[in-house]
Amino acid sequence: MPAYVHVNLRVIDPAKQAALAPRFQAALKDAGGKILHFGLVAHTLEGDEDPLPLAGVFEFPTLSQALAFYHSERYAPIKAERQEAQQARMFVVEAG
């Protein structure tokens, strides 16, 4: 059953973000994932905490594939660069 990684972020280093984006997209695709949405948060509907300005949803065929990607050797250097380029909140859910 599919799994969806949700990310809410603020870019803090645009140059680093631009440099890592193509590598992230290629690694995501190679791991069986795809970007369903990435863009600006339009409105806060509920909650006391304002979201960060950007949000994305990435789909994987299974939860195990999503977790394998996140913990993979290929993603590790991209993740380290991403953490320097963005402030982010991220979680994964399994459909079903």
- The structure's pTM equals 0.92
**CA torsion 49→55→83→47, rounded to 10°?**
10
Per-residue tokens: 78: 């991209």
Contact 61, 26 (CB under 8 A): no
Would you say how long the chain is, in residues?
96
Contacts of 52 (CB under 8 A, 6+ apart): 8, 9, 10, 41, 87, 88, 89
Mean of the pLDDT values across residues 22-36? 97
Per-residue pLDDT averaged across 22-43, rounded? Answer: 97
Over residues 47-72, the pLDDT tens digits come to 989 999 999 999 999 999 999 999 99
Residues 39-46, mean pLDDT to the nearest whole number: 95
Closest C-alpha among 10, 13, 34 to residue 81: 13
